[in-house]
């Protein structure tokens, strides 16, 4: 057996272990009928702290989901492919419990966030979302494919088989890396047209919501002929023309305007309103869905920054979330939904702290809306909610962490490390002073918050403890791998391979 196969067998064995947890806990443990997964793209602990401070004038613990009974870290590393094509995982030379993330290395200084052993690498969203949704770590750019290019059965696939509804939501394009890996299968996350064609034409999705509209940008009509528009994020011209006619193509009901989203968001289960059986919602923007409810100090900011058309025609992530929960709940067998706040990542790539704060608020508002929905129309006895991130972006620390000697605004070898500083306390609506170490992803732990049916099974998948992280961010320090989120969802719901 080669080393890569050892990895796959090990991952499958862990999945089997998850099944054993379900079986052994059959008596008395309530299974999650509904699984709600929130992914804040690029949202590490310090990004969380930054946004929370802006939102509440308090640090971690102020958001409702940060009070969930289970808080863990997640190690997000992926597999490294060597120049000669080898993909290795050697549990003898590098024991699995330390693979890819070693606390002692991380806390040595700013370069610790870039440290990795020989056979692992800092992840991208495709590889991490694949690990989260399949339980198997893979290569960068792969979406629901293993390191050898084989199609993986993801959690959405397993829910279809169980007769449950599945919804995929993002503030990015529907075919972007995280929604892609949560639903479709492709060797390259950038094959947007292939991915969206699979999502729309082939997958039994119940809800699919995101951006990628070929005709609008930030709510404004694009001044181009139909032949010159970009249809790659929505399945290509032929698929778009068919589905946007809204005459039932592949069973989809199509919407793209905020009033349509708002109407469905208000159609809660108690209203007994007839809802679409399948919903495709493409927000009226080609790129990022703007955080129109994210600027708490200036409610007019969005209209001034993006234009009034954006406010009038593009839904909030909270509205998108409620639409999804209302429609999915029509399935008596239950549902799985992945809801992504995708633009925290984009803000942190740009080292734009204020934008990161606004994106955090929009993401937190969506989670609050989902919590309220669960408590009104479901219960924590039948629903599990997990809030996490696919990776950290930006290497954010409080101001004064390093002396920016060369003045380039990022950590470099010329700079002087002064010591890790926490996100400073500010008033609500004020942007904390922070330093970014990079414009890229890092190998930093990200948070995992869990509540609901089966949440206690998370303890069975702990890989190690980072006491310094626990001290810095106010939790036990226990961490899992991102691939263990799949195992937790499987164990909690009873749905596994």
Q: Find, among 293, 287, 292, 286, the residue nearest to 306 by Cα.
A: 292
Residue 116, pLDDT score: 85
Is 50 exceeded by the pLDDT of residue 91?
Answer: no
Is 60 exceeded by the pLDDT of residue 7?
Answer: no
d(CA 296, CA 160): 39
Is 60 exceeded by the pLDDT of residue 94?
Answer: no
Is 60 exceeded by the pLDDT of residue 5?
Answer: no
Residue environment code for 416-449, b if the CB has 16+ CB neighbours within 10 A, otherwise e: eeeebbbbeebeeeebbebbbbbebbbbbbbbbb
3-class secondary structure, 292: coil
Residue 93, pLDDT score: 52
Confidence of residue 86 (pLDDT cuts 50, 70, 90): confident
Average pLDDT for 288-296: 97
Q: Per residue in 156-205, pLDDT tens?
A: 999 999 999 999 999 999 999 999 999 999 999 999 999 999 999 999 99
Q: Residue 487 is inside which H or E element, if any?
A: helix 483-493
Helix and strand totals (H; E) in the chain: 16, 21
d(CA 66, CA 82): 39
Q: Which residue has the higher pLDDT, 192 or 117?
A: 192
Range in 86-100, 135-149, 245-259, 401-415 the model is least confident about: 86-100
In percent, the amount of the chain with pLDDT more than 70 equals: 92
Q: Find, among 395, 342, 392, the residue nearest to 212 by Cα.
A: 342
In percent, the amount of the chain with pLDDT more than 90 equals: 87
Is 60 exceeded by the pLDDT of residue 367?
Answer: yes
Confidence of residue 88 (pLDDT cuts 50, 70, 90): low
Q: Which two tokens stand for residue 169?
A: 């939501």
Average pLDDT for 213-218: 98
Calculate the alpha carbon distances from 51 to 59, 212, 359, 362, 434 in Å: 9, 26, 8, 10, 11
Q: Which two tokens stand for residue 91?
A: 């549990």
Q: Per residue in 126-155, pLDDT tens?
A: 999 999 999 999 999 999 999 889 999 999
273 Cβ neighbours under 8 A, 6+ residues apart: 267
**What's phi and psi for 245, nearest 5 deg?**
-65, -20
Q: Give the CA-trace dihedral at 410, 415, 416, 420, to 10 degrees.
A: 10
433 neighbors 82 (Cβ within 8 angstroms):
no
Q: Per residue in 380-438, pLDDT tens?
A: 999 999 999 999 999 999 999 999 999 999 999 999 999 999 999 999 999 999 999 99
Average pLDDT, the chain: 92
pTM (two decimals): 0.94
Average pLDDT for 235-258: 98
274 Cβ neighbours under 8 A, 6+ residues apart: none
Residue 119, pLDDT score: 82
3-class secondary structure, 196: helix
**What's phi and psi for 345, nearest 5 deg?**
-60, -45
Residue 97, pLDDT score: 54
d(CA 449, CA 489): 13
335 neighbors 166 (Cβ within 8 angstroms):
yes
Residue ranges in 378-466 assigned as alpha helix (H): none
Average pLDDT for 216-242: 98
Q: Give the CA-trace dihedral at 450, 455, 456, 457, to 10 degrees.
A: -110
What sign for the dihedral angle of Cα 146, 151, 153, 155? positive
């Amino acid at each position: 057996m080669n080393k890569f196969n050892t990895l796959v067998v090990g991952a499958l064995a862990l999945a089997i272990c998850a099944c054993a947890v379900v079986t052994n806990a059959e008596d008395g443990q309530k299974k999650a009928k509904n699984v709600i997964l929130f992914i804040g793209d690029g949202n590490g602990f310090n990004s969380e702290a930054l946004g929370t401070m802006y939102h509440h004038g308090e640090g971690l613990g102020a958001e409702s989901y940060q009070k969930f009974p289970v808080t863990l870290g997640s190690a997000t590393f992926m597999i490294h492919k060597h120049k000669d094509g080898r993909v290795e995982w050697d549990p003898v030379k590098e024991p699995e419990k330390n693979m890819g993330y070693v606390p002692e290395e991380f806390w040595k200084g700013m370069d610790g966030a870039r440290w990795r052993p020989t056979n692992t690498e800092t992840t991208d969203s495709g590889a991490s979302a694949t690990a989260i949704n399949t339980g198997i770590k893979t290569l960068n750019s792969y979406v629901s494919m293993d390191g050898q290019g084989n199609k993986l059965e993801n959690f959405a696939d397993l829910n279809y088989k169980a007769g449950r509804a599945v919804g995929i939501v993002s503030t990015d394009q529907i075919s972007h890396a995280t929604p892609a890996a949560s639903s479709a299968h492709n060797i390259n996350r950038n094959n947007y047209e292939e991915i969206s064609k699979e999502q729309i034409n082939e997958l039994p999705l119940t809800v699919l919501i995101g951006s990628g509209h070929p005709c609008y940008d930030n709510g404004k009509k694009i001044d181009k002929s139909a032949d010159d528009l970009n249809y790659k994020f929505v399945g290509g011209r032929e698929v778009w023309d068919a589905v946007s006619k809204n005459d039932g193509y592949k069973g989809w009901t199509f919407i793209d305007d905020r009033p349509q989203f708002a109407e469905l968001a208000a159609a809660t289960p108690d209203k007994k309103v007839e809802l679409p059986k399948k919903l495709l919602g493409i927000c009226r923007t080609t790129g990022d869905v703007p955080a129109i409810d994210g600027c708490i100090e200036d409610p007019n900011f969005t209209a001034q920054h993006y234009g009034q058309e954006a406010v009038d025609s593009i839904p909030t992530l909270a509205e998108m979330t409620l639409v999804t929960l209302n429609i999915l709940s029509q399935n008596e067998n239950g549902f799985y939904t992945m809801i992504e706040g995708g633009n925290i990542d984009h803000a942190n790539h740009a080292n734009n702290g204020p934008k990161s704060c606004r994106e955090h608020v929009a993401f937190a508002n969506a989670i609050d809306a989902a919590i309220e929905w669960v408590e009104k129309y479901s219960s924590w006895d039948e629903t599990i909610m997990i809030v996490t991130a696919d990776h950290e972006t930006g290497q954010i620390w409080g101001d004064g962490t390093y002396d920016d000697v060369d003045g380039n605004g990022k950590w470099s070898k010329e700079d002087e490390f002064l010591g890790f500083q926490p996100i400073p306390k500010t008033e609500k609506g004020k942007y904390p002073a922070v330093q970014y170490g990079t414009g890229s992803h890092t190998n930093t732990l990200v948070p995992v918050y869990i509540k609901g049916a089966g949440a206690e099974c998370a303890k069975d998948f702990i890989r190690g403890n980072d006491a310094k992280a626990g001290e810095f961010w106010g939790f036990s320090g226990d961490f899992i791998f991102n691939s263990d989120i799949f195992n937790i969802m499987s164990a909690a719901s009873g749905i596994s391979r």
